[in-house]
Every structure is written in C-alpha cells, then in structure tokens.
Amino acid sequence: MNPVNTRGLAALALLCALVAPPVTASMATPAWRTGRAPVADSGLPGWMAALQWIEQKVAAPEPSGIEAFGSVIAVQGDTAFVAAPKHPQNVPSGGQGAVYVYRYAAGQWTLAQTLVADDAAPGEEFGNAIAVQGSTALIAMHFAQIDNLPQAGAVYVFHDDGTQWVQTQKLVAGTPLLVANFGDSIALDGTTAVIGASNERGAAAEPSVGAAYVFTADANGIWTQSQRLASSHPLHWDLFGIAVGISGDTIMIGASQETWVDQTSGPGKGAVHVFAASAGVWTETGELYADDGVDGDYFGEVLVFDGQTLVVGAPAVDAFAGAAYVFTLSGGSWTQSQKLLAAEAEENAFFGRSLALGGNQLVLGAPGATAGETPFAGAAYLFAEADGTWAQTARFTASDAMLGDYLGFAVGLKDGEHVITGAPHDFDDGQSLSGAVYAYAPDAIFVDGFEAAR
C-alpha cells in the first residue's frame, strides 16, 4: 500500500548530476562507523532500546556506471525489491532498468532473482516505481514508448508462482499520451491498483496537469482499467499523481506543485487529494494541505498511507531542509496531527524525500544530509509512535559515507525492525557510481545481512 517513486525534485536531480564523489573524498565519521551504535531514544520497545544496530551493505550486483541501484526500494515481509532504473541490459546506451529481488532467511538477505521488462528499450527506466502485496508485484517503466508515443509509460505485472516472479501482463493507460509518464507512482491494495501519470497534459494540452488511473484484477488475475482520476480543479504544472496511496475505499493522490499560477511564478504549496469509493466509483471528497505550507515546499511529492495514518513528505521546506506531515483519521475526517522534522535539521537535506511506514514505525530519508563532515552523503531517520505522538529514535548514516552518495533517496522497513535504505550514487567500486543499499537491524536478530547469490 506504500508507493515508491523516483520522480525527484529538480534541485535534487541537479545535485545528483553535478556532485560526483571524487576518488580522494575523505571518509565521514558517522555514529555507525564501526557497524554498531546504540538506539538514540527509548521510543522503541524496551527490549530493542537496549540493543545496538548493525550496518550491512550490498553493492549493485552488476555495476556498470550510473545505474541508480537503490533509488527505489519496496519491502514485503522477507522480500525486498531493489531497483536500478538506469541499469543497461547489455546495450551500450543503457537505461533499460532492472529490479533485484532479495529474500531474508537464516539471518541474511540473499539475491534471489533479477527482473527485467521483456520489451525494455534504452532510456525507458524499468523499476522507477514498485508496489508489492502478496504474490503480486507492479513495476513501472514510466518512460516506455507506447504506440510510437515516447515516454507514455507502462506498468508490468509480476506474479510469484512459489518459485519465482513471472511477468504476466503489461498495463498502459486506456488512451496512452505522449510524455504522460504513466507509472510515475504506484500503490496496490488487494485487487485494486492506482497508477500516477503526473506529466499528463490537461484537456487543453496544458503541461503536467497529471492524472491517476485505477485498475482492478478479476478472479483470474487479469488487470483492467476501471477509472481515470483527475483533480477537481486541474491546472498546469500541478503534477497530480506524483505520489499515490490506497487502502480500502480511500485513495490519496499527491500534487506537489499545486497550484502553479503561471509559468514564471514557480510551484505552489502542494496538496494531497482524497478520493473515496462508492458502488465501485471513485469520487474526490477533499484535499489536504500543510497547515504552514508555503510555495515551493513540494508537499505531496511522496506519501505513505495505511488506512488510518497518512504521512506526506515536503522535502523542500525551509531551504530544502525538509519535513513530513502526519494526518490521522478521526470521525471520518483527516486532520493534521503533527509535523516531523529531523533533530539534526539542515538546509539541502531533503528530509522527507522518501518514506516507509509499518505500524508504529516510520522511516524517512534525507539524501542531502551531512554525515559527519561529509555533505550530501545522506541519512535515514527512524521515528516511533507512542500515544499518538511520533518521535525520532535513531539516525543512520553509512560507515563509508562519501560526498554525493545520497543515502536515504529510498527507504524500506521490514517488520518494524530492519531499516533498509538506498544510496543510488554510491561510489562502491572506486570506478563507477552504480549505487548501493544499506540495511540496519538490532544486532540480536541480524546476522550476515545482504549477501549476493553465487
């Protein structure tokens, strides 16, 4: 139910393009340099509060330049999907993308399978968004060419047959559109999926108005489009559909630049649109905003939603220091209950760029955060909820942090115990920027961590 996407902020994309960690970059000295550190606060269950955390790292399995391994992470139980959307599939121009499936058993994560789209072309970025539930995984390729329309976008359905994940279907919008980026975001709940197309043009060809599509699966597992969702007041550059979430009869859709009044004033504050289902038809019932939002916050760039709690990222708040807003359902209405900030707030940290929610545990990424004295190395934060209040309990930085790693660009959470976070610009092999994933867990339950299959 928690979506993941890599359609990032323009400022962060610029940083990724310009800030490459040099070979001579000095190592940081984060709290987890030795691989162990105490939990920062007692917000976790008592038996966990006394434990230390162990860091485990996995590099890109097939490093080949800038492939953004770790830019998307989706975790379900003992299975973790890690995407490398820019990975080349034996083609020099690259960018077809790949998704790596890891399984956790006997205290370690093991690479079990590599997934690719059967028709991926260079630059189409398979794996830019992933949603998984039960035996179904939906993996997007938002730059896919459909019917000779570049970047119309597609989503691939994979089924776990008990032995491996098998591609079973390819989903496209009922009317594919040029550069719509169908698949910018995905959320899945049972037999219903919602797929964002944030770059879709409006009725009068206004740019980047955005839309979202609802698909449903029949008894045979065949998915068909049932409805197209749009803002009740669409405007150009809203990016409606940049983030989506679904639980039961409620869909949440982010529009991170709403409302961009004209093409020169810059992005608006951002919003989240609430849709409810009645007799199988989805209708917009309200909008949510940050109570202190200002233009350019990018509220709604990312969200996580479990039916009772909605957390919305606003990674550009206060000179890109970033924030996240918690909304709770009470008496049938959604109300902002808390604003979350990093205890170590700093400009350009992009706190709230990624989110993962599991029960009373929440992980937030800050890919621009400083680790020790190393800028833009990135960090991930663990928050715990008690009596309706969320509090920071731990901060994670890589023991080998380097300039421009962007740890925290994506995050995942396993069973409220394992924090998994991606560093898509990691300089692991000393030659390329393929990316890496770091996993943190209490030392009493984590043994060997990620281990590549041989």
**The model's pTM:** 0.89
The 10s digit of each residue's pLDDT in 83-116 is 999 999 766 678 999 999 999 887 777 899 999 9
Dihedral (CA of 139, 379, 419, 342) sign: negative
Residues contacting 231, CB < 8 A, separation 6+: 209, 210, 238, 240, 255, 258, 273, 284
Which pLDDT does position 261 carry in this prediction? 62
Q: Quick one: pLDDT band at residue 441, thresholds 50, 70, 90?
A: confident
Q: Quick one: pLDDT band at residue 428, thresholds 50, 70, 90?
A: low
**CA–CA separation, 130 vs 214, rounded Å?**
16
**Helix (H) / strand (E) containing 18:** helix 10-18
The 10s digit of each residue's pLDDT in 354-395 is 999 999 999 999 999 999 999 999 999 999 999 999 999 999
Phi-psi region of 153 (alpha: psi -120 to 50; beta: other; left: phi over 0): left
Which pLDDT does position 16 carry in this prediction? 42
For residues 224-252, average pLDDT: 96
The 10s digit of each residue's pLDDT in 303-356 is 999 999 999 999 999 999 999 999 999 888 999 999 999 999 999 999 999 999
Which pLDDT does position 126 carry in this prediction? 98
For residues 429-435, average pLDDT: 73
Q: CATH assignment of 10-451?
A: 2.130.10.130
Residue boundaries of the structural domains of the chain: 10-451
Which pLDDT does position 104 carry in this prediction? 86
Q: Running DSSP on this structure, what letter comes out for residue 13?
A: H
pLDDT exceeds cutoff 60 at 65: yes
pLDDT exceeds cutoff 60 at 298: yes
The 10s digit of each residue's pLDDT in 408-422 is 999 999 988 899 999
pLDDT exceeds cutoff 80 at 11: no
Which pLDDT does position 107 carry in this prediction? 72
Q: Of 219-233, 258-272, 332-346, which gets the smallest average pLDDT?
A: 258-272
pLDDT exceeds cutoff 80 at 43: no
Which pLDDT does position 73 carry in this prediction? 98
Half-sphere exposure of 36 (CA within 13 A, CB side): 8
337, 377 Cβ separation under 8 angstroms: no
Q: Which residue has the tokens 């992980």?
A: 363
For residues 196-219, average pLDDT: 94
For residues 242-265, average pLDDT: 88
Q: Quickly count: other Cβ atoms within 10 Å of residue 102's Cβ.
A: 26
240, 211 Cβ separation under 8 angstroms: yes
Which pLDDT does position 431 carry in this prediction? 58
Residues contacting 205, CB < 8 A, separation 6+: none
Of 390, 371, 260, whose CA–CA distance to 327 is shortest?
390
Q: Are strands 449-451 and 436-442 parallel, antiparallel or unpaired?
A: unpaired
Which pLDDT does position 271 carry in this prediction? 97
Which pLDDT does position 236 carry in this prediction? 86
What mean pLDDT, rounded, does the chain reach? 86
Phi and psi of 15, rounded to 5°?
Answer: -60, -45
**CA–CA separation, 343 vs 30, rounded Å?**
15
Coil/strand/helix, residue 280 = coil
Of 359, 268, 357, 276, whose CA–CA distance to 314 is shortest?
268
Which pLDDT does position 267 carry in this prediction? 87
Asked if the bond preceding 421 is cis, omega within 30° of 0, the reply is no
Residues contacting 445, CB < 8 A, separation 6+: 107, 417
pLDDT exceeds cutoff 80 at 444: no
Q: Quick one: pLDDT band at residue 429, thresholds 50, 70, 90?
A: low
The 10s digit of each residue's pLDDT in 128-164 is 999 999 999 999 999 999 999 999 999 999 999 999 9
Phi-psi region of 10 (alpha: psi -120 to 50; beta: other; left: phi over 0): alpha
Q: Running DSSP on this structure, what letter comes out for residue 448?
A: S
Coil/strand/helix, residue 17 = helix
Q: Quick one: pLDDT band at residue 263, thresholds 50, 70, 90?
A: low
pLDDT exceeds cutoff 90 at 56: no
289, 262 Cβ separation under 8 angstroms: no
Q: Are strands 449-451 and 108-115 parallel, antiparallel or unpaired?
A: parallel
